[in-house]
Structure 1
Amino acid sequence: MRPFCTRMMRFPSLLLIAGCLSGLPTLSAQAQQQLSLPAMSPAVHLRQAFSTSYIDLNYSRPSKRGREVFGKLEPYGKVWRTGANSSTRIKFGEEVKLAGQVVPAGTYALFTIPDPKEWTVILNKDTSQWGAYDYKPQLDLLRVKVKPTALAAPVETFALTLENLQPEAADLVMRWDKVQLSVPITADADARVMTQIQEAMKTDKKPYFAAAQYYYSTDKDLGQAVKWMDEAIKQEPKSYYFYYWKAKMLQKAKRNAEATAASKQSLELVKAEKSAPLQEEYVRLNQQLMAELAKK
């Protein structure tokens, strides 16, 4: 405090005190040091390749911290944000089905209504909410009923995951405390891929190899797959990789003599491969394939 103020504080007045205090240093909001603190409910962004596109999850992860979660912290019968902080968001890169109901490509808020016997899972069109305080049921895209399962041991931190991934199916799984919820997601990738192949084959850059592999992996017309492999080989006649896959397709079509010939050609071409590990791998793969063919 300034010396003059110190002397005059023996005879204080409101004006004097105000004048003296005005000389003290102050901290404005802008001048205060910003702190980086651990989040009580850390945010997560999960992006999972799925079908012909992806699924995105954005949510925050609250922890149990000794509390009884469902029925107490998160009451039964009330809409829950299914996480913490902002409402949980899920984005689908293509049309899917959630528990059998159609969901157009897009981003949705994911809400739930906990219940001891049967939860309600909600996709809502309003993705800008903080929590579920402004939840509007008239903006629901869908509601599905899902039975929870009990976990043997409590899960400390809330988790949303995508599990049991297949080309056209996955499960959206929620775990917290002693509760697990699993919601099936399905997609019709085959229809989209077949349309893509049909359109791509009309262009100058025809995806012969990719189309042939898709036919092979999905048990479609193997004769067509082999024809496409022949076209791919015309473009890259020294590709031991293409000859190996042609042999695999011929094997699946039970054209064993042709498969053996293609595999032998792959073996001959792989001799020019400069990468020793790659050369060793395709020598092994072709020898294994020919051994299988020899048994039949």
Structure 2
Amino acid sequence: MTAVGAARRLVASALLRRLAEVVESELFLVGGGLRDRLLGRPTHDLDLVVIGDPATAAQQIARTFGGNAFPLGKPPLVTWRVVIGRHQVDLSRAAGSLANDIWRRDFTVNALFWRLPRGPLIDLTGGLDDLAARRLRVVRAANLNDDPLRVLRAVRIMSTHPPLALTSEAERQVGAAAPGLAAVARERVVDELRRLLAGQGAGRALAVAARIGVLASLSPTWVGASSVAELARRATALAAMQRRGRGILAAGAAFVAPALLAAPAAGSPERWDHQGAAAALEHIG
């Protein structure tokens, strides 16, 4: 996938064109919203980088489309969100220069920037080639430590975007950073796990997460579980104990992954009981 070819596939929707008109600052579509457009996948989440004040941009959008603009996070890392119908628009300030912001991203496929409404498409990390090859590469290993949740996001993307797979080097980097998950707020972990379990590639992603040590960082239950079959065996046992009222959750196990409590669908360890996972999450979260 060349930059020229990718740029030709990018046509700003009426909403994106209107956003560029309404906001006085320069806007870039970034992250998963841009990645999914390049992959031809429908998306309603728009991540925008503002060369200016994101609070002002959010208020301009809210006044034009209706609704409220509200901040997420704490200074200095504040994102402003505006909900427009079924679209969720998140606006953040560039972290320093545009190039600096790009090199601080998590994965190369998420480090693409497209200036609204007509380009150019900026690719400093090789993300377009990785999209074409269906590779999931880390921008810089140190970036995983900036927000350890990125460790879990790596395998979640494998689940929700089955063609994408971590390279062997990325697996090593993600596994090395996995212990940092212990410092992440439980609600953030649970939300990421919820999205992982809902993906079509959940079985494959969980097997990778087990093999490289991501699940072991969430709970000692998963130490040594390096295959889908072993995950299935332990998940089934845990789910059975929970159904018998043995109080797995009541025992205070921290960061218990929903996959661990939801028995796999009968006869197929590649399929997971998403309803069971959701029920477990109600108790965890």
Q: TM-score, normalised by structure 1?
A: 0.26
- Higher share in helix: 2
- Higher share in strand: 1
Q: TM-score, normalised by structure 2?
A: 0.26
Pick the structure with greater CA Rg: 1
Question: Looking at both structures, which has the greater relative contact order when contacts are Cα pairs under 8 Å and sequence separation is at least 6?
Answer: 2
